């Protein structure tokens, strides 16, 4: 007999599938018959397809978008694996003439939410918005337009802006180039905090091979971090929640620490990566002499090797599921680069705002001081967050779909894995981004209601007495929507 928790998740998936198949929020694009882009990326990594990590593009790449010419050096897309879940619509196609489920009555919604929103556990500042995703109608609002410190729920906005600017198939490169005489080799940071030891080793092998082909076995190694500008250190200073914001790092500067969550960070992640690269070259009989120095790559340089990140869709999913601050800041910087802004905190803030403005979300009072939500100067409204979520569910905007597929699932994954315990009506039915700073707690995501509606919600609380009390209060608000 399946566990009740599994049955709840299955029921939620079925309800969500019915809603989507009826046209409420067709999750096309990054989904292949219910398969998440992250699953496709993992399948590709297992297959070790050419171009998945480094090297020139393989044949059979994606068709070029009219507004984004294909890069001749782009890698082939990760091959699609067999579907994990079959879309409900494929098995039970609904009658197109059938009426959609009845809308949730705003009066009933207010009656359910108001007492919960008044909980002293949420502190004196609390705002809320609930939107019917199918119609875009706001079903409930309490201070919905008021700017609030969002904490990590701002990552929803950061992710949507990045996907809007770059597209879900964009990959972030890390490159090695050589001077005209091949006496100087430069490791060029492209802004990929997910670069890991395995890919760095592959990059070294490709570099050593290219140098040997040109008869060069002794070189001077430098590293280029000029892609980003402005301060490298986040305004909160040295902190286990985020590394220095630099375009060159390995494993987010975590060293041997855990892959997600807080961890001690390297004081010099770019230098550490360059020194590790030098060591890898030495093992391949390429001598670099002195320790690598920071220097800008020559203007007329020859590319020796390149490695690519996973597609942006997978990076967004990881950012939201695990509330990854380093990746969020990288997404914001790349949004700036794509928008023509400097890749700095200020430039990224302007770029994120500009992309959200194009999406038509309410921006009154909004401020994007960073991409991760660690900066208390960030300000967004509950109405802004629900509007972004609704745009991500719009069948006309499939490029934004990873904003929804990356949300943690209540009781099952990411930052919601330990919330909505067995027996909670929200387990498996709520997908939401969490936000936590001292005195700030927030929750924004989607929920499938008992009558089959897909709702987007955002609850923001300030001056909360403690996260221990505020988080269950937010969870009760979201769980009330399932009923």
CA distance 224 to 201: 18
Pick the catalytic residue from 266, 309, 323, 372: 323
Helix axes 382-392, 154-166, angle to 10 degrees: 40
- Do the Cβ atoms of 314 and 308 come closer than 8 Å? no
Please state whether beta strands 220-224 and 293-294 pair in parallel, antiparallel, or not at all (unpaired). parallel
68-72: long-range contacts, CB 8 A cutoff, minimum separation 24:
68/167
CA distance 140 to 134: 15
User: Would you call 155 a catalytic residue per the annotation?
Assistant: yes
**Beta carbons within 8 Å of 279's beta carbon, 6+ residues apart:** none
CA distance 315 to 404: 13
CA distance 333 to 353: 13
Q: Is 400 helix (H, G, I), strand (E, B) or coil?
A: helix
Closest of 479, 423, 472 to residue 455, by C-alpha: 479
CA distance 10 to 470: 28
86-93: long-range contacts, CB 8 A cutoff, minimum separation 24:
86/33, 86/34, 87/17, 87/20, 87/21, 87/33, 87/34, 88/13, 88/14, 88/17, 88/18, 88/20, 88/21, 89/17, 89/18, 89/20, 89/21, 90/33, 92/18, 92/21, 93/21
Pick the catalytic residue from 155, 266, 313, 344: 155
User: Would you call 296 a catalytic residue per the annotation?
Assistant: no
Closest of 294, 259, 254, 257 to residue 275, by C-alpha: 294
CA distance 305 to 295: 18
Q: Distances in Å between the alpha carbon of 47 and those of 42, 51, 79, 223?
A: 9, 11, 8, 31
CA distance 443 to 67: 35
Q: List, in sequence order, the alpha helices (H) in 301-419.
A: 312-322, 325-339, 345-359, 382-392, 402-405
User: Would you call 323 a catalytic residue per the annotation?
Assistant: yes
CA distance 368 to 158: 9
Token digits of residue 413: 């994954």
**What residues are annotated to the active site?**
152, 155, 323
């Amino acid at each position: 007999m399946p566990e009740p928790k599994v049955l709840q998740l299955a029921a939620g998936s079925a309800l969500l599938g019915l809603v989507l198949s009826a046209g409420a929020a067709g999750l096309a694009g990054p989904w292949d018959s219910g398969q998440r882009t992250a699953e496709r990326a993992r399948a590709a990594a297992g297959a070790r397809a050419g171009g998945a990590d480094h090297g020139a593009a393989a044949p059979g790449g994606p068709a070029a978008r009219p507004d984004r010419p294909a890069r001749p050096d782009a890698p082939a897309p990760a091959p699609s694996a067999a579907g994990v879940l079959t879309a409900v619509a494929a098995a039970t196609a609904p009658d197109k003439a059938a009426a959609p489920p009845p809308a949730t009555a705003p009066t009933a919604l207010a009656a359910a939410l108001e007492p919960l929103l008044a909980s002293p556990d949420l502190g004196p500042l609390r705002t809320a918005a609930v939107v019917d995703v199918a119609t875009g109608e706001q079903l409930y609002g309490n201070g919905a337009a008021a700017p609030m410190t969002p904490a990590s729920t701002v990552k929803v906005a950061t992710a949507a802006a990045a996907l809007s600017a770059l597209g879900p198939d964009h990959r972030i490169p890390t490159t090695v180039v050589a001077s005209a005489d091949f006496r100087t080799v430069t490791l060029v940071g492209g802004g990929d905090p997910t670069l890991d030891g395995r890919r760095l080793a592959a990059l070294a092998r490709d570099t050593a091979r290219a140098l040997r082909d040109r008869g060069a076995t002794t070189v001077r190694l430098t590293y280029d971090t000029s892609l980003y500008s402005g301060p490298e250190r986040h305004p909160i200073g040295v902190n286990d929640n985020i590394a220095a914001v630099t375009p060159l790092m390995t494993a987010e500067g975590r060293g041997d620490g855990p892959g997600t969550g807080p961890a001690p960070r390297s004081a010099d992640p770019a230098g550490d990566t360059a020194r590790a690269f030098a060591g890898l070259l030495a093992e391949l009989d390429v001598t670099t002499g002195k320790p690598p120095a920071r220097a800008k790559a020559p203007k007329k340089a020859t590319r020796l090797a390149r490695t690519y990140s996973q597609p942006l869709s997978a990076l967004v999913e990881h950012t939201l599921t695990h509330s990854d601050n380093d990746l969020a800041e990288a997404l914001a910087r790349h949004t700036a680069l794509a928008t023509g802004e400097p890749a700095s905190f200020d430039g990224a803030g302007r770029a994120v705002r500009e992309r959200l403005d194009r999406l038509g979300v309410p921006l009154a009072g909004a401020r994007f001081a960073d991409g991760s939500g660690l900066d208390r100067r960030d300000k967004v409204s509950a109405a802004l967050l629900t509007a972004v979520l609704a745009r991500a569910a719009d069948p006309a905007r499939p490029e934004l779909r990873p904003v929804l597929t990356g949300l943690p699932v209540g009781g099952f994954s990411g930052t919601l894995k330990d919330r909505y315990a067995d027996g909670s009506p929200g387990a498996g039915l709520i997908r939401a981004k969490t936000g936590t700073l001292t005195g700030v707690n927030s929750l924004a995501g989607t929920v499938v209601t008992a009558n089959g509606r897909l709702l987007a919600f955002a609850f923001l609380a300030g001056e909360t007495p403690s996260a221990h009390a505020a988080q269950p209060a937010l969870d009760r608000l979201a769980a009330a929507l399932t009923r």
